[in-house]
Homo-oligomer: A and B are copies of this chain.
Amino acid sequence: MTTVPVGYTYDTQLAASPVSEQILTELLTDVMWTEGDARALRRAGEILLPRTSEILDAWYDFIGSTPHLVTVFRRRDGEPDPEYLARVRGRFERWVVDLCTRDFDSQWLAYQEEIGLRHTPAKKNTTDRADSPASHVPMSHLIALIVPVTVTIREFLRRGASEADDVEAMYQAWFKAVTVSVTLWTRPYAPDLW
């Protein structure tokens, strides 16, 4: 990762997340997060980091071949916007790295909130100056995509693992971390009941 993706603002002055570190601790409890998960996720990061482009190929093949998913990337003429797709892809790659390597602290929370907002009418399209009639990513699809983003990773972990690695432990840590991440992204969709 030598270049910073366009619109990637993790390491800047971000607005604090409305989600406190106390609430984050509760969410980590919900997913049964352990110190072992933290170690397994770090190791998963070492395996996945050189493969982020292939991982995004897999995810984008899936999104691109699924009309109701690609629709959020459509322009006013109905065609998917290649520049918008490419810019989101750069940040999505970086999210894989961040999830495995960053500490789950207030800065991480602030950037998850920013990602969430970028899926809602508050900020969708603005980061990439996309001229898309899709005002938001439907929350239902955001949540349901926990599954493909989780299950596609096992094969990357399996292929990259050495004898000493516990693929199932890394896979489970990934599943937990993805779920917490997506859960945080849903906050702006239902701020009063979240």
Contacts and interface: CB of A to CB of B under 8 A. Distances in A.
A68 interface: yes
A140 B32 contact: no
A145 B179 CA distance: 9
A30 B193 contact: no
A193 B136 contact: yes
Contact of A143 (B66, B172, B179): B179
Interface of A is mostly: helix
Interface string A89-129: 00000000000000000000000000000001100000000
A190 B136 CA distance: 12
A49 interface: no
Interface in A139-179: 139-141, 143-148, 150-151, 172, 175-176, 179
Nearest to A144: B30
A141 B26 contact: yes
Task: Give the size category of A's interface with B.
Answer: 35 or more
Interface stretch (A8-16, A73-81, A181-189): A181-189
Contact of A193 (B26, B29, B139): B139
A69 interface: yes
Interface in A1-33: 23, 26-27, 29-32
A21 to B, nearest CB: 14
B193 A144 contact: no
A189 B151 CA distance: 27
Given A30-B66, A139-B186, 9 more contacts: A23-B140, A27-B140, A30-B69, A31-B144, A136-B193, A143-B186, A150-B175, A186-B190, A189-B190
13 contacts: A27-B141, A29-B68, A30-B69, A30-B144, A30-B147, A31-B147, A140-B187, A143-B143, A143-B179, A146-B146, A186-B186, A189-B189, A190-B190
